[in-house]
Structure 1
């Protein structure tokens, strides 16, 4: 698994923790699809921006998001499967 992909995911989580919309958006493809654990789906970077602006604008904040110690084992497996499914950097040459 590519170290770069892990650092991108860590940047995504860190951006949410710091409420930095641009940091999160830098990690996403223009045509990304983000699915929240509770069901809503956001398609495309522009819609993710709108979602974050609304959510953060309502005073919401991510207080804690530690994937390494997360008790949601299935979610961790999904993240690992997602990262494993992406090509390694050296595979794209």
Structure 2
């Protein structure tokens, strides 16, 4: 199992220790909407806060996962609840690896549902 698969599995299981086990102690994790978590202590606090606010990963489906030496890239669909709201969005993650763990992880998210373009823009 690749590191990003293990990281995602930790979130699915709501297991902070499993998440932290995939990250270097000095990791940098950047969420798609802006927050940056530097190091295990901040990641652990983020996970604890998210779970305390009734955050729950309902599904995190991996569509494509690639490994390029010290780089892993994954495309996914994230389905979750947080503070009583259920949401789903598509995204991608780029992870840089060092010493067998993730040292840098950056997530990107789509801003609208995907659709096949047929000559007209649905939204911009």
Same fold (TM over 0.5): yes
Larger Rg: 2
Please state if 1:58 is matched with 2:59.
no
Runs of 4+ in 1 over 2 A off after TM superposition: 69-73
Matched, 1:31 2:26: yes
Cα deviation for residue 58 of structure 1 reads 1.2
TM-score by length of 1: 0.70
Using the alignment, how far apart are the partners of 1:37 and 1:63 within structure 2? 18
The CA deviation string for residues 48-88 of structure 1, in whole angstroms up to 9 with x for no partner, is: 00000011011111111112163646x2xx53xx45xx47x
Which structure ranks higher in relative contact order (CA pairs < 8 Å, sequence separation ≥ 6)? 1
In structure 2, how many angstroms separate the alpha carbons of the residues matched to 1:45 and 1:68?
28
Unaligned runs of 5+ in 1: 1-5
Q: Which runs of 5+ in 2 are unaligned?
A: 65-75, 78-89, 101-124
- Which has more strand, going by share of residues? 2
* Aligned-partner SS, 1:68: strand
More helix by share: 1
Give deviations 1:16-53, integer Å, cap 9, x for gaps.
Answer: 01100000000000000000011100000110000000
Please tell me the root mean square deviation across aligned C-alpha atoms, in Å.
2.3
For these two proteins, the number of residue pairs brought into alignment is 76
Once residues 57 and 35 of structure 2 are traced to their aligned partners in structure 1, the CA distance between those partners, rounded to angstroms, is: 17
